Amino acid sequence: MPDATLAFTFLGTGAPPVSLRRAGPAHLVEAAGCKLLIDCGSGVSQRLVAAGARGADIDALIVTHEHSDHLVDFYQLVISSWHQGRAKPWRVLAPEPALANMRAQYEAFARERSLRIAFEKRPDATGLEVIFEALREGRIDGLGDLAVEGFLVDHRPVEPAFGLTLSCAENRIVFSGDTRLCPALEHAAQGCDLLICEVFIDAQMPVVAGVRSAETVASVASYHMTPAVVAGLAVRAAAKALALTHLVPPAADTAALAREIRAAGYGGPLIIGEDLMRVSLPERLLGWNGATIGF
């Protein structure tokens, strides 16, 4: 991969509902020899291997906010990476509430971890160590030529929550994180090469007795972005391409979703994320399931 290439892999494009098609939220960013993992939802370890990557090689993990679907597989990621031969501590950046959750996961398994270390006699236990850092607004140091900046988004009552700007050379990706439309995201997205947004597909979220009420649908919709909102954002930002991830519901009809985005006025390149899709800039290539598509 050329030094200037910025690659983004959709490891998990799902949400809390269980889906065989879509694992929990997780994305891999690669640039200039650096590997960054964003979120560690259910199935992240398996999806990394399926993508030809390893948790053992990740330079840093960023968790965007406290919700369980974004951090539930943290400890499994630590253990599976150690079994792959990881020999460096984990660097984990997250908002304080998410850090508290992950610290609790880590401490809950302290006895289990000590038993593994003592009995399994693996060459190096350093890969089980974790350095927890508070995620804040601004540039994140220590990632080489991969420039990563966090910005606050609006996912209240879950706060703080972050979006990310990911840059290498002249290429810039903006990742919304989980959020309702907010000025910080509008500002970050201006003129980006690729805008990657969560999406709450309200037209495909009917009331279901015993599962979700009209109040449930309205509440969840209120702190996410609908297809019309995402399309409007992409148009105003003059984004060169738009990709959708964290699909709610995970079983959504993606053709209908694409038509809804178009009807809302966005006519540019559109990618509806599937697990294991890989997008690379500046080549503007999408690889998935053996196919390569230019966009």
Return the axis-axis angle of helices 74-83 and 96-108, rounded to nearest 10°: 60
pLDDT at 262: 98
* Residue-by-residue pLDDT tens, the chain, 295 positions: 446 899 999 999 999 999 999 999 999 999 999 999 999 999 999 999 999 999 999 999 999 999 999 999 999 999 999 999 999 999 999 999 999 999 999 999 999 999 999 999 888 999 999 999 999 999 999 999 999 999 999 999 999 999 999 999 999 999 999 999 999 999 999 999 999 999 999 999 888 888 888 988 888 888 999 999 999 999 999 999 999 999 999 999 999 999 999 999 999 999 999 999 999 999 999 999 999 999 9
Q: What is the pLDDT of residue 1?
A: 44
62: tokens are 């960023």
Could you give the domains of the chain? Answer: 6-286 (3.60.15.10)
Spell out the residues 6+ positions from residue 194 whose beta carbon is closer than 8 angstroms to its own: 8, 172, 173, 174, 239, 240, 241, 242, 243, 279, 281
Kindly report the backbone phi and psi dihedral angles of residue 82, in degrees, each rounded to the nearest multiple of 5, phi listed first: -65, -40
Phi first, then psi: give them for residue 119, nearest 5 degrees.
-90, -35
- H runs (alpha helix) in the chain: 44-50, 74-83, 96-108, 110-120, 183-189, 214-222, 227-237, 254-263
Nearest to 224 by CA among 204, 246, 243: 246
How many Å apart are CA 126 and CA 26, to the nearest integer?
24
> Which pLDDT score, from 0 to 100, does residue 248 have?
96
pLDDT at 102: 98
